[in-house]
Amino acid sequence: MIMHRIKRLARAMTFSFLFGIPIWLIGTMFGAMFGQNRSVNRKPKIRYVIFDLGDVLLAQDKKLQLKNIGIINILKLGAGNTLKLLLPFAKPFDIKKTMLEIAEKIKHTEDKTLNALTPDGKQPLAQIFRDWLDGTLSGQKCFQLVEIFIEDHPELFANKTEKNIILRAFQIAFCPETLAKMLKPTKDGIKFVQECKDLGLEVLILSNMDSETGVKLQENHPELFGLFEKKNIFISGDMGMIKPDNKIFETVLYERNLDAQACVFFDDQKENILAAQKCGINAIQCPKKKKLFGSKPNIDYLRQQLAILVAQSELEELETIEITST
């Protein structure tokens, strides 16, 4: 009798194992597809906006730039070239081009492989600028290296006036106090940051900038930087790395515990946009509006793109709620 009961129990367990588990698996699959526990692969709602500074929230004051270079020096170039310096469509003695060419010739340290480009996106950023932006060299040390190089190579200039202008331009570029005075927030940029906050979005800054200039700008422009929490301001000179290094984006995401897909990043440099996108961040390049004497960031375009991304993420969230409630 006992042996008979044991055999019946064994058959029941075998039946349960062979047929019960497959039935349970099938039920789970249908439940996942149609039930309340359905798992939905969707993007998270947009919650964070990360801003670059230069040519996004800040614009250069061209009048101050010319004033600091020295009106007397500029006038010495002649009336024709002086006028051309003021007109963006003309090509006179090109201060920026000459500076970049000289900077590229200064080989002070081993070159770092990084896809950082000049502001116009046309050529690699010289090593001396990279070391300045990631905090390896101070602005003062950078200018000393430039000054020594220029004094050793007078043949690079047509005359003494050109040499003095380039020296002064480098001095301005590597001087935190002067540079911070020439970079000013745009009214539209400030307004846009406030609009983001009013939408309930958290705002952050990620900028390639030396630490000293970053501090000076924050002191000079509380109307902009007061909109950001201190913990949300990331300056490359403080971080020891620069965009477009993927590590700088990963560091921001890690330190603030952000979901990359919940972030929108605005930058004027294409290579930075591509690097952010590789990290899973929604990234949009900031175009420029042309003006008679230069250009300014096109904040209207950024505003439109952000509205589209926010609307899409909210629509996906509503669709998910409807699905999971069925």
Up-side HSE of residue 203: CA atoms within 13 Å toward CB?
Answer: 24
Overall pTM surpassing 0.95 (yes/no): no
Q: Give the pLDDT confidence of 110-141 residue by residue, as tens digits.
A: 655 566 876 666 678 899 999 999 999 999 99
Q: Give the pLDDT confidence of 310-320 residue by residue, as tens digits.
A: 999 888 776 66
Name the phi and psi angles at 235, rounded to 5.
-110, 130
Residue 238 in tokens: 């403080």
Quote the CA–CA distance of 115 and 100 in Å, as a whole number: 16
Q: Give the pLDDT confidence of 218-275 residue by residue, as tens digits.
A: 999 999 999 999 999 999 999 999 999 999 999 999 999 999 999 999 999 999 999 9
Mean pLDDT, residues 23-52 taken together? 61
